[in-house]
Amino acid sequence: MYSGELEIQAKRKALAVLQDEINRILNAGRVLSTLPKMLVVKDKAGIKTTLEQISSIEDEVENLRRKITRDVADVGGLILNRDNILNTAYTMDEISGYISGIAFKLSNIKVSTIKTSNLDKDLTELIELVVDEIYKLNEIIRSLNVDSSKSIELAQETQKIEREIDNKYRIMSITALNEITDTKELILMKDVIESIEEMADKCQEVSDSFILLALSLWLERRTIRKQNCCLEYTRV
């Protein structure tokens, strides 16, 4: 077996762990999107369960990040762009941390503040946009082992979602400044809105990393095809 084929196998194993990370982060994001409504209706049991679920998923993502660190270390120099894979795993770990932090801060904001100028609906919509972005990441990593060009197309779609998030973030920031008079509540709300936007930026970083992985996989497959063709030719 050629070293190029071994590298592709090692990358596939790493990508499988990254996909597990993304799946869990996607679940955490979906859980987070239900929190604003729960806070408004004062569903204390639901809020408690939501926070526990997000905390549990954060632990799972951290364990997967540690696993991929060990796996990449085990194969040594076999994966040429291993730094990119590791950085992606750590960035996804950060996204999970953002979800946990947003949930905690949001749960400490007064219901009256969340209801201000429909911020509860805006928060849900903003979080759902990030969930859409994470879903695209999930699609990208699924297509990496099948069709690298499709992965690049999907990555471009995440950029469109990112622009939507940026626009909504700006509008919500102004609304919070204009409508929330309590300084403590304003700081908390702005922190939540900014954290959601920063989480979206991290998602875009992961998308950019996936593009690099897609290109490297495409080049490796092309090299292997050429090597196989040369072997067939020499046998003839």
Mean pLDDT computed over 196-210 = 94
Q: What percent of the chain has pLDDT over 70?
A: 85
What is the per-residue pLDDT across 28-48, written as a single tens digit (0 to 9) for each?
999 999 999 999 999 999 999
Total domains present in the chain? 1
| Token pair for 73 | 């270390």
Mean pLDDT computed over 164-184 = 95
What is the per-residue pLDDT across 132-148, written as a single tens digit (0 to 9) for each?
999 999 999 888 777 77
pLDDT of residue 69: 86
- Note down the domain range covering 72: 3-235
Task: Report residue 181's pLDDT band, with 50, 70 and 90 as the boundaries.
Answer: very high
Task: Report residue 173's pLDDT band, with 50, 70 and 90 as the boundaries.
Answer: very high
**What's the CATH code of the domain at 92?**
1.20.58.220
Query: Is 194 a residue whose pLDDT tops 80?
Result: yes
Phi, psi of 87 (to 5 degrees): -60, -40
Query: Is 79 a residue whose pLDDT tops 70?
Result: no
Mean pLDDT of the chain: 86
